[in-house]
């Protein structure tokens, strides 16, 4: 049993004794990890990715340090408004990932299932709900979420509002990608501003919001440049960096720190060697905990994950005259909203940007949208010239198992690409 595994057991035991004790142990462990990222970063990673690991850890610690200054949110919530309200995004998907990385997810999942939630529900949702039920995660100031682009959001976040007994706000994004939908969401974002002002007692200034949204646009533009320019370069990759990037590209979008990260990425490319091995563009979440997946992609010159669709769900060409309209446009035009062709076409475009040798469509257990579309997606990617692997698994729940199958599928796929 390794140190982290032991830590997870200690957290679970402490939480069983007293929720506040469990929270304390969890926070202490993560604070130590934060120090490690600062003083002993992973040497294999480039500076930008070392910076990103610390940035992400800080983002996870903020709600534990000051929960009352945090808003639980779903990944595609436009967090510029949350930041302008002086709140830390307290992201469900990311927090569940960190609980899993700390080997503390099993007790949470069990708690959620014991409460009656289905075992086929997405494990990110079950982990966070279970952690809220057993008191491992602290009560936030409020909850802000959207139906984009997971139907489970509608249930999970309203349940969290009941558990935490805090106010919540849902942004209902129509499936139709039209100007009318953008107008509808724009109106809702104005209501969200009022909700946040009322909840925090702090005013949100539209000029500051406009600057922040303009920074979001610059950041997305530079990230698009980075993805294109990395196509023929070798950037050492692990399994978590693409996930961090996916998280920060959403919940920290518009912050100076996220902009810094993207600039550092571009600087790293200046000295990066030419491309090595096979490059994979990844659709949906990554099973970062899986030994079988690590065997093939953890700092391997032979194969790397060079992009994840979740970090590129919206283009930079959104209107910025009105920041509310800009954010609404991004939500409606999110690649995962609307018919499946939008998601697939975005994936193909981004895979082309990075000159990917192949695509993995990860069928995360519980994600019905991804599972249901997998056959169409595989066909479309292959017609676009990308050999595509449908990989079944779970991005968060290590008890899902199937490591043997994962290893065989990935191994055979890479052998196919090399043949």
Partner 1 sequence: MSHTMHYICKYTPIELLSAMGAECIYANHMPDGFGVSETMIGSNICGFGKSLVDLAESGDVHELVLTNCCDTIRSVSDVLRTEGKLPYVHMIDIPHVDTNCTRDQLTEQLKSLIASYEQYSGNHFDRKKFIGALKIARAQCVQPNQPYIAILGGRAGIELHKLCLQEMPLMVQNLTCVAGRKIGAGLPSDDVLETMDTDALLSWYAGELLGQLPCMRMLDRTGRKQLYNDPNLRGIIYHTIRFCDFYSFEYSEIKSHVSVPIVKIESDYTTGASGQLLTRLQAFAEEIEMTYKDTPEIFRKMFQGRPGKGTTASGNGFPATADSENPTVSGTSVETADYGNGNGTPDRNHSVSAYFAGIDSGSASTDVVILDQDANIVSGIVLPTGAGASMSAEKALNAALEDAKLTRADISRVVTTGYGRTAIENSDKSITEITCHARGAHFLDPSVRTVIDIGGQDSKVIVMDQDGRVLNFVMNDKCAAGTGRFLDMMARTMEMTLDEMSLKGLTYKEDINISSTCTVFAESEVVSLIAENKATDDIVHGLDKSVASRTASLAARVGGTAPFMMTGGVSRNKGLVKALEEKLGARLVISEKAQLCGALGAALYAREMRN
Q: Is 330 in the site for partner 1 (CB under 8 A)?
A: no
Q: Which of 136, 150, 182, 351 binds partner 1 (CB under 8 A)?
A: 150
CB of 378 to partner 1, least distance (A): 9
* Number of Cβ atoms within 10 Å of the Cβ of 52: 27
SS3 101: helix
Question: Please, which residue, 152 or 249, has the CB nearer to partner 1?
Answer: 152
CB of 411 to partner 1, least distance (A): 4
Residues 159-198 that bind partner 1 (CB under 8 A): 159, 170, 172, 174-176, 180-181, 184, 187
Instruction: Specify which residues 170 forms β-bridges with.
Output: 145
Question: Please, which residue, 210 or 371, has the CB nearer to partner 1?
Answer: 371
Q: Is 405 in the site for partner 1 (CB under 8 A)?
A: yes
Instruction: Specify which residues 280 forms β-bridges with.
Output: 305, 358
* Number of Cβ atoms within 10 Å of the Cβ of 182: 24
Distance CA 279, CA 414 (A): 10
Task: Give the helix ranges, DSSP H, for 290-355.
Answer: 291-297, 323-332, 340-353
Stretch binding partner 1 (CB under 8 A), from 93-101, 311-319, 345-353, 363-371: 363-371
Q: Is 151 in the site for partner 1 (CB under 8 A)?
A: yes
Q: Is 158 in the site for partner 1 (CB under 8 A)?
A: yes
Question: Please, which residue, 36 or 340, has the CB nearer to partner 1?
Answer: 340
- Neighbouring residues of 351: CB distance < 8 A, sequence distance ≥ 6: 281, 307, 359, 381, 384, 386
Distance CA 372, CA 366 (A): 11
- Neighbouring residues of 180: CB distance < 8 A, sequence distance ≥ 6: 174
Question: Please, which residue, 145 or 244, has the CB nearer to partner 1?
Answer: 145
**Residues interacting with partner 1, by CB under 8 A?**
115-118, 120-122, 147, 150-152, 154-155, 158-159, 170, 172, 174-176, 180-181, 184, 187, 339-341, 363, 365-369, 371-376, 390, 392, 400-402, 404-405, 407-409, 411-412, 415-416, 419
């Amino acid at each position: 049993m390794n140190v982290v595994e032991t830590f997870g057991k200690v957290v679970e035991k402490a939480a069983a004794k007293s929720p506040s004790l469990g929270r304390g142990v969890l926070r202490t462990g993560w604070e130590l990890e934060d120090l490690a990222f600062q003083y002993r970063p992973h040497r294999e990673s480039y500076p930008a990715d070392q910076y990103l690991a610390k940035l992400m850890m800080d983002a996870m610690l903020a709600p534990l340090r000051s929960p009352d200054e945090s808003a639980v949110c779903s990944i595609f919530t436009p967090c510029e408004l949350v930041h302008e309200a002086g709140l830390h995004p307290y992201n469900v998907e990311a927090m569940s990932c960190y609980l899993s990385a700390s080997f503390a997810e099993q007790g949470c999942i069990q708690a959620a299932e014991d409460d009656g939630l289905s075992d086929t529900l997405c494990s990110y949702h079950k982990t966070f709900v279970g952690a809220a039920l057993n008191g491992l995660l602290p009560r936030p100031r409020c909850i802000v979420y959207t139906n984009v682009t997971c139907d489970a959001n509608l249930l999970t976040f309203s349940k969290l509002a009941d558990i935490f007994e805090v106010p919540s706000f849902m942004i209902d994004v129509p499936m139709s990608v039209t100007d009318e939908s953008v107008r509808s969401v724009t109106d809702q974002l104005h209501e969200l501003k009022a909700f946040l002002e009322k909840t925090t007692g702090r005013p949100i200034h539209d000029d500051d919001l406009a600057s922040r949204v303009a920074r979001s646009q610059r950041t997305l533009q530079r990230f698009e440049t980075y993805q294109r320019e990395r196509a023929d370069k070798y950037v050492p990759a692990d399994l978590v960096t693409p996930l961090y990037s996916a998280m920060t590209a959403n919940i920290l979008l518009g912050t100076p720190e996220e902009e810094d990260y993207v600039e550092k990425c571009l600087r790293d490319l200046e000295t990066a060697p030419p491309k090595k091995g096979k490059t994979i563009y990844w659709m949906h979440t990554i099973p970062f905990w899986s030994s079988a997946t690590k065997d093939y992609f953890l700092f391997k010159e032979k194969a790397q994950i060079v992009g994840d669709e979740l970090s590129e769900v919206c283009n930079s060409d959104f209107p910025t005259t009105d920041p509310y309209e800009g954010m609404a446009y991004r939500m409606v035009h999110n690649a995962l909203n609307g018919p499946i062709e939008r998601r697939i076409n975005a994936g193909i475009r981004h895979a082309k940007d990075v000159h990917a040798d192949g695509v993995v469509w990860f069928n995360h257990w519980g994600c019905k949208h991804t599972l249901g579309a997998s056959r169409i997606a595989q066909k479309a990617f292959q017609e676009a010239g990308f050999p595509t692997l449908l990989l079944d698994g779970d991005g968060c729940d290590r008890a899902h198992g199937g490591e043997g199958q994962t290893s065989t599928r990935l191994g055979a796929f890479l052998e196919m690409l090399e043949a």
